[in-house]
Amino acid sequence: MLRCVTRFAPSPTGYLHLGHAHSALDGWRRARAGGGRFLLRLEDIDPGRCRREYAVGIEEDLRWLGLDWDGPVRVQSEHLAEYRAALDSLAARGLLYPCFCTRQEIARDIAASLSAPHGPDGPLYPGTCRGLSEPERARRIATGEAHALRLDIARAVACVPAGLSFHEEGEGRVACQPQRFGDVVLARKDAPASYHLCVTHDDALQGVTLVTRGADLKPATDLHRLLQVLMDWPEPAYAHHPLLLDASGRRLAKRDRAATLRDLRASGVSPAEARAMAGFG
Ligand code: GLU
């Protein structure tokens, strides 16, 4: 039987809370139950929000919780050339285009359009830069104008066989509709890659066979499957878990200091109690 490889892939933008503990324990338990592998990956490509102290804190908190992981921690910011190569491959097929728009310009164009379609992450990019000519793109890039790289979603979808789907534990095949995201950003102006690209790249590279993560990321799986097929990366299975809620029924967030593992530890909670609070007693 194929041994399962799972991972926990937090972004070091804050300290871990009980929701993260739930995700980490879910992946760890599944791997350890079947003699598989459990990997830790720091998704730190956003230089504005990620901090070294949080990265160090994540490892400390996971060890305190009683988790261990296999092999070295993969730190995404140390692998930017690999993401660049994936972007180059998509660009060579005409699937990416430079987008020079500012946030304000995008908001203005959305406000001015008669129908502003919404996707899972909010209003869709109205396509302002999609139609720029090659000479215009080259000129603006040559002048050093900051630009993101967007996926031309219509072209990308046209490149893959119809009927794209993924396997969700307990549900079977789930149909994907990546068009719902519009022309997503795969490389940001201020960061050389984006979450969607890096997460799919790394899950493939690291041989992850089962992606365990919160249900908030389930819609993004449509896009991840599209990238996997475009890049000829293997397809993992998925098990999205319900998000942990606080006493008032709101989902836990990094701003909820009381629920961070550090604060629980400081207030005398034991690792076993924290595991139970995270749903794994
Ligand atoms: N880095 C993402 C986050 O912290 C999770 C990525 C994933 O599990 O796919 O929200």
Ligand 1 atom nearest residue 13's Cα: 4
Q: How far is the CA of 10 from the centre of ligand 1 (A)?
A: 5
Q: Which residues line ligand 1 (CB under 6 A)?
A: 9-11, 43, 199, 213, 217
The 3 state secondary structure assigned to 200-263 is HHHHHHCCCCEEEEEHHHCCCHHHHHHHHHHHCCCCCEEEEECCCECCCCCECCCCCHHHEHHH
* All domains in the chain, ordered by first residue: 1-78+244-281 (3.40.50.620), 79-243 (3.40.50.620)
Query: Has residue 252 got a pLDDT over 80?
Result: no
Ligand 1 atom nearest residue 214's Cα: 8
The SS3 of residue 271 is: helix
Mean pLDDT of 188-192: 90
Expressed in percent and rounded to 5, the helix, strand and coil fractions of the chain are 40, 15, 40
Which position among 32, 74, 189, 254 bears the catalytic label?
Answer: 254
Other Cβ atoms closer than 10 A to 167: 15
Tens digits of per-residue pLDDT, 139-170? Answer: 999 999 999 999 999 999 999 999 999 999 99
Dihedral over Cα of 80, 83, 85, 88: its sign: negative
Q: What is the pLDDT of residue 257?
A: 60
Q: What is the pTM for the complete model shown?
A: 0.95
Which residue is closest in CA terms to ligand 1's atom 3?
A: 10
Kindly state the percentage of the chain with pLDDT values over 70: 97
Q: Name the β-bridge partners of 241.
A: 214
Tens digits of per-residue pLDDT, 42-81? Answer: 999 999 999 999 999 999 999 999 999 999 999 999 999 9
Q: Report the residue among 16, 44, 51, 195 best suited for mutation to probe ligand 1: largest number of ligand atoms under 8 A from its CB.
A: 195
Other Cβ atoms closer than 10 A to 241: 17
Tens digits of per-residue pLDDT, 98-149? Answer: 999 999 999 999 988 878 789 998 899 999 999 999 999 999 999 999 999 9
Dihedral over Cα of 184, 151, 140, 144: its sign: positive
Q: Report the residue among 26, 45, 217 best suited for mutation to probe ligand 1: largest number of ligand atoms under 8 A from its CB.
A: 217
254 included as an active-site residue: yes
Structure letter (DSSP) for residue 27 = H
Other Cβ atoms closer than 10 A to 280: 16
Q: What is the pLDDT of residue 239?
A: 98
The encoded tokens of residue 234 equal 């293997």
Q: How far is the CA of 30 from the centre of ligand 1 (A)?
A: 18
